[in-house]
Amino acid sequence: MSVRSKSRRKAGGQSWWLALVLPVAAILFAVWFFLIHESETFTGKQVTEQTEADQSLSAEAKQETGISEINGQISGDLPSPETPWIALIIDDFGFPATAGVVDGFLSLPFEVTFSIIPGNIKSVSIGNTVHAAGGEVFIHLPMEPTRKVAMGERDMVLVGMDAVDLEVILDRVTGELPFAVGLNNHMGSKATLDEPLMRMLAFELKKRDMVFIDSRTVEGSRAYTTMISAGVPALGRDVFIDNKGDPVGIPNRIRELLRIARHNGWAVGIGHARQTTLNALVEILPAIDESGVRFITAGELIEAVCNMRRRTQVASGDTVVN
């Protein structure tokens, strides 16, 4: 065999090898490129989907808390020192004598909340009258005082009672006043100091979707703080406008209530179903009008303050607590 023949055969062998290897290499490169591209696309899609999910979750959380957001700024109608709000609760409705002042309090040119002691002769009829007129009803629930002589009410919440007995009381009073949106304590100088009892009450209120006002009839009351820690919307009383029964001093205590509202942004006042209290409120109407303070129901004030706290949590990135 000549040298030329060997050279041609060698060249032919190389051509055959290259013809086999090059297509295989091209296929492998194409597969590699496809896998890399799909991986990047999938990762990008995951990030996009996760971002959209986070945004959707955030929007749902804000919707649940009643929060609106415009141009990145949380907005809404809230009390403040510039636009202060007051909730005025009138206690002790239910006794026969209180039926005569219902219309007078309903005719005031601002909102008040009617807090009714359950189990009395006029409790149900007064509740129906207020509800029919569009007023807000609270249950003025009797709670154990330090003085035993004041324990004549039917539905008395007592220190040491068990959860079943408390549930029976709450079932009964909410059955009499089914449109009541909340509750505040009547007396309770002993009961509201008892944190285990307040925790049981908070459980009952939360399952009924009711709010709470601590009347603060005793220094060191645990009612408000226990309600808040249990997730019950709550506020505490700032001023008793007529607790001393002195009609001359009522205007001064109303002015004190206005001052607190302008300082803090809101305030809670409590008065009683008396003609003297009604007369004093009528007489001081010009001062109330000039103050620029907005009077709303207790339920509305609690909702507004709770929404404000939730908005602060959302703005700071904290978890929203319902």
Residues 6+ apart with CB under 8 A from 173: 118, 119, 139, 141, 155, 180
Q: How high is the pLDDT of residue 262? A: 96
Q: How high is the pLDDT of residue 30? A: 56
| CB 318, CB 311: distance < 8 Å | no
Is residue 33 domain-shared with residue 177, that is, in the same domain?
A: no
Is there a domain that residue 102 lies in?
yes
Is residue 60 domain-shared with residue 142, that is, in the same domain?
A: no
pLDDT in tens, 6-19: 333 344 444 444 45
Q: Span 12-38, mean pLDDT?
A: 51
Is residue 160 domain-shared with residue 244, that is, in the same domain?
A: yes
Is residue 208 domain-shared with residue 268, that is, in the same domain?
A: yes
Is residue 124 domain-shared with residue 187, that is, in the same domain?
A: yes
pLDDT in tens, 150-169: 788 899 999 999 999 999 99
pLDDT in tens, 88-135: 999 999 999 999 999 999 999 999 999 999 999 999 999 999 999 999
Is residue 260 domain-shared with residue 301, that is, in the same domain?
A: yes
Is residue 148 domain-shared with residue 45, that is, in the same domain?
A: no
CA distance linking residue 166 with residue 282, whole number of Å = 39
CA dihedral 184, 188, 194, 195 (to 10 degrees): 10
Mean pLDDT of the chain: 82
Is there a domain that residue 247 lies in?
yes
> What is the 3 state secondary structure string of the chain?
CCHHHHHHHHHHHHHHHHHHHHHHHHHHHHHHHHHHHHHHHHHHHHHHHHHHHHHHHHHHHHHHCCCEEECCEEECCCCCCCCCEEEEEEEEECEHHHHHHHHHHHCCCCCCEEEECCCCCCHHHHHHHHHHCCCEEEEEEEECCCCHHHCCCCCCECCCCCHHHHHHHHHHHHHHCCCCCEEEEEECCCHHHCHHHHHHHHHHHHHCCCEEEECCCCCCCCHHHHHHHCCCCEEECCEECCCCCCCCCHHHHHHHHHHHHHHHCEEEEEEECCHHHHHHHHHCHHHHHHHCCEEECHHHHHHHHHHHHHHHHHHHCCCCCC
Is there a domain that residue 77 lies in?
no
Type of residue found at 159: V
Lowest-confidence region among 39-48, 125-134, 200-209: 39-48
Q: Which domain holds residue 14?
A: 1-64
CA distance linking residue 266 with residue 82, whole number of Å = 10
Is residue 217 domain-shared with residue 91, that is, in the same domain?
A: yes
Query: Residue 32: is its pLDDT beyond 70?
Result: no
Q: How high is the pLDDT of residue 24? A: 52
pLDDT in tens, 249-272: 999 999 999 999 999 999 999 999
Task: State the angle between helix axes of 195-207 and 163-176 in degrees (0 to 180), rounded to the nearest 10.
Answer: 50
CA distance linking residue 120 with residue 142, whole number of Å = 12
CA distance linking residue 216 with residue 225, whole number of Å = 11
Q: How many CB atoms lie within 10 A of CB 20?
A: 9
Is residue 208 domain-shared with residue 157, that is, in the same domain?
A: yes
CA distance linking residue 220 with residue 224, whole number of Å = 10
Is residue 31 domain-shared with residue 172, that is, in the same domain?
A: no
* Residue 245 burial class via C-beta count within 10 angstroms: exposed 0-12, middle 13-18, buried 19 and up: exposed
Q: Residue 90 region, left (φ>0) first, then alpha (ψ -120 to 50), else beta? A: beta
Is residue 247 domain-shared with residue 311, that is, in the same domain?
A: yes
| Domain count of the fold of the chain | 2
Is there a domain that residue 142 lies in?
yes
